[in-house]
């Protein structure tokens, strides 16, 4: 855990402040925020969608049955370490064609989604080599090769989760929301 925490601190130290500010500005300018990711990155996206709702913003997870039609006033935030995961890239391109803004949280600045993104947020991480990264998520799930202390996309996913929670803290300040406001929006049917 200490090794992973140290690596995440190192990643945080190298993040670009202008990218972070652009990310926050894009969220604040959007009418609605749609989140997408595959696998564990998808879980990070869902977690972020929930916290955005807690802050009082309108957020949806792409693929859920209650997700409404997207418009040009909306924003899609894709979490993809490779930036090339086929399903995430296809949907991001569809959102762009609709006229929505596209934000990408990724470890790769030169990727399929990065090429269309209005906002790019780089979270550097170590990723094992994959020969066909257009199917990177699917391949890694099937192969299951664990060559590092943080296998597969663990550092990207964990750093993305920490980053998204830090963004929520910033959003709380911007929207003048305190924890009691979040608690009022938290589910009460568990």
Q: Is 120 helix (H, G, I), strand (E, B) or coil?
A: strand
d(CA 125, CA 128): 10
What does residue 34 show for φ and ψ, rounded to 5 degrees?
-110, 135
Name every residue whose Cβ is closer than 8 Å to that of residue 178 and which is 6 or more positions away in sequence. 172
What residues are annotated to the active site? 157
C-alpha distances in Å from residue 111, one per residue of 62, 97, 133: 21, 18, 10
Residues 114 and 105 sit within 8 Å (Cβ to Cβ)? no
């Amino acid at each position: 855990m200490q090794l992973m925490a140290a690596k995440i601190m190192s990643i945080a130290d190298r993040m670009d402040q202008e990218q972070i500010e652009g990310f926050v500005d894009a969220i604040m300018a959007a009418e609605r925020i749609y989140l997408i990711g595959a696998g564990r990155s998808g879980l990070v996206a869902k977690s972020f969608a929930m916290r955005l709702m807690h802050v009082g913003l309108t957020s949806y997870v792409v693929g859920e049955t209650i997700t409404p039609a997207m418009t040009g006033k909306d924003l899609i935030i894709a979490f993809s370490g490779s930036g090339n995961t086929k399903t995430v890239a296809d949907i991001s391109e569809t959102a762009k064609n609709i006229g929505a803004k596209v934000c990408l949280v990724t470890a790769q600045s030169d990727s399929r989604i990065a090429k269309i993104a209005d906002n790019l947020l780089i979270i550097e991480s170590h990723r094992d080599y994959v020969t066909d990264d257009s199917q990177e998520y699917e391949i890694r799930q099937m192969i299951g090769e664990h060559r590092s202390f943080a296998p597969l996309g663990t550092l990207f996913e964990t750093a993305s989760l920490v980053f998204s929670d830090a963004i929520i803290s910033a959003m709380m300040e911007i929207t003048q929301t305190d924890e009691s406001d979040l608690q009022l929006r938290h589910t009460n049917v568990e």
